[in-house]
Amino acid sequence: MIGVLALQGDVREHVRALTEVGAAARPVRRPAELDDVAGLVIPGGESTTMSKLADVFEVRDPIRKRIASGMPVYGSCAGMIMLATEVLDGRPDQRGFDGIEMTVRRNAFGRQVDSFEAPVEIAGVPGPPFHAVFIRAPWVERVGADVAVLGRVTDGPAAGRIVAVRQGNLLATSFHPELTGDLRVHALFADLVKAAG
């Protein structure tokens, strides 16, 4: 069973994508629901709102503990921000889950009107470049020694920016694969969860 953190954001879209790749998936909002899942998706949405709601629903510490114990987690867009150990351009009171040793810049590509789509090749994902949808997306400015860079923007003014990473059982993209119909990132994460046992 894979949970999708249901505090805010693209919850249904991730549940649907996971189901389409053959995984059992359901929304998770409370600590007791977190106990019943083998992996977790942190969806795109608004990271400052998620940060506040993680405290309201008392899931911040349980998620941190599960991450520390090896639970696979995938974060897309705001989920990438929530998994980062350092966030630039966030609110001073914003707190995440400190899973991936990386520095991300919030809304790095610009405002909502600056949202765009671009091809991104993702290491370990066979097939053509991924059609990535970036909506007020972050990018990664620094990664730790144990973080593998899986994808970068290849075109335009943001060429070379890191947009997909993995550290152990933790995976993050700054784009929204749940919106494209291309299920390869979700399949990769479902395989990660299976391998983690």
Question: Is the confidence at residue 177, as pLDDT, over 60?
Answer: yes
Strand duo 84-88 + 170-173: pairing:
unpaired
pLDDT tens digits, one per residue of 157-172: 678 899 999 999 999 9
E-assigned strand segments in 10-127? 25-28, 39-42, 73-76, 84-88, 100-105, 116-120
Can you tell me whether residue 86 is helix, strand or coil?
A: strand
Helix ranges (H only) for 28-72 are 31-34, 47-56, 60-68
Domains and CATH numbers, the chain: 2-196 (3.40.50.880)
Return the pLDDT at 111: 65
pLDDT tens digits, one per residue of 108-119: 776 665 677 888
Residues 6+ apart with CB under 8 A from 127: 184
Between CA 124 and CA 149 the distance in angstroms is: 11
Q: What is the pTM of this model?
A: 0.94
Place of tokens 């400052």: 48
Q: What angle do CA 181, 186, 190 make, to 5 degrees?
A: 150
pLDDT tens digits, one per residue of 31-74: 999 999 999 999 998 898 999 999 999 999 999 999 999 999 99
Q: In this structure, what token pair is assigned to residue 101?
A: 């040793």
How far from each other are the two terminal CA atoms of the chain, in whole angstroms?
Answer: 11
Return the pLDDT at 112: 62
Residues that are catalytic: 77, 176, 178
Q: What angle do CA 76, 79, 82 make, to 5 degrees?
A: 155
